[in-house]
Amino acid sequence: MTGGPADDAPTPGSRDPDALLARAGVRGDPDRDQHFLVDDRVLDRLPSYATEIDAETSHVLEIGGGTGALTDRLLTLADRVTVIERDPDLAAFLREEFAGEIEADRLTVIEGDALDVELPDFTLSVSNLPYGVSSEIAFRLLPRDRPLVLMFQREFAERMAADPATDEYGRLSVTAGHYADVEVVETIPKEAFSPPPAVESAVVRARPRDPDYDVPDDDFFLDFVTAVFTQRRKTMRNAVRNTAHISGLDDPDAVVDAADAELMGRRAGKVTPAEFAELARLAWEVGEP
């Protein structure tokens, strides 16, 4: 690793992503899920997706700091930034590169896995997530009830934001939508990264809100949705019966018998979140979870 803080350290927002890579002395490694975002225009736009919705920016969380190209932009937006970086060498580089900001108590670097470390009490997260664990990280962040601007593989992002009865609609759409209004705000070409990934990427903005339906228990609802979508090509009638080992129902037949016959004849991809909630309430009452 080369470099370190200089007397004339750059001001936040002025660091060049290619120069950061050079100073860190690293190259992305696809085998380790490392693809560094190096397109200045994309990096400059990412914070704007939070300011467009007047998100609270007093403490921004970034997961997967890399060499700090996005960190640099976030420091122009936020009062404080916390970065979680699992690579020890990159975490050490961030501490060197941003020593001034750390000393001023504007930046904290946490070395560790974002699935394991204790998350700070952040007000907003803007992150280019490691794609291999993006789902797990997203569902660690969504229940925190904070605005999120997150980058995913494009296919994953489109499934998160999909409407019922579309090809992309599925478990991910329902479970993400349980916590927030989710929208794809930008697609990102492969060439914006070094090295380019095999697929296109997309930026998702999630605005927290309460769902427009009631469920008896969040965990049961999400397990129930997950269960029936494992058999999305079967009717809801068969899916409910066949997945009791996942949903935890003791008496799935009682649920099927008590539910609306027309709903039970549909496939999961044609069932709206509100209808899933209604069915989950029924299952909670008669299925003995």
Do residues 84 and 63 lie in contact, with contact meaning Cβ atoms separated by under 8 Å?
yes
pLDDT at 1: 45
Position 255, amino acid: V
Here the CATH number for the domain that contains residue 261 is: 1.10.8
Here the CATH number for the domain that contains residue 129 is: 3.40.50.150
pLDDT at 27: 84
Q: What is the mean pLDDT of each run of 10 residues along the chain (289 residues)?
A: 53 89 87 86 96 96 96 97 96 97 98 96 95 93 97 96 96 97 97 93 97 93 96 96 94 95 97 97 87
Task: State which of 179, 208, 237 marks the end of a domain.
Answer: 208
Q: Assess whether 57 and 193 both reside in one domain.
A: yes
d(CA 148, CA 156): 15
pTM, whole model, 2 decimals? 0.91
pLDDT at 265: 97
Q: What is the DSSP letter of 178?
A: T
Residue 2 forms part of a structural domain: no
128 annotated as ligand-binding: yes
Question: For residue 24, which of 128, 98, 94, 119 has the smallest C-alpha distance?
Answer: 94
pLDDT at 3: 45
d(CA 65, CA 68): 5
Q: Assess whether 265 and 223 both reside in one domain.
A: yes
The structural domain count of the chain equals 2
Residue 8 forms part of a structural domain: no
Q: Assess whether 203 and 233 both reside in one domain.
A: no
Q: Assess whether 100 and 231 both reside in one domain.
A: no
Domain interval for residue 233 = 218-286
288 annotated as ligand-binding: no
Residue 107: strand, helix, or coil: strand
64 annotated as ligand-binding: yes
pLDDT at 8: 61
Task: State which of 208, 231, 251 marks the end of a domain.
Answer: 208
Residue 7 forms part of a structural domain: no
113 annotated as ligand-binding: yes
59 annotated as ligand-binding: no
Q: Between vectors from CA 144 to CA 185 and to CA 116, what angle results, nearest 5°?
A: 100
Q: Assess whether 203 and 223 both reside in one domain.
A: no
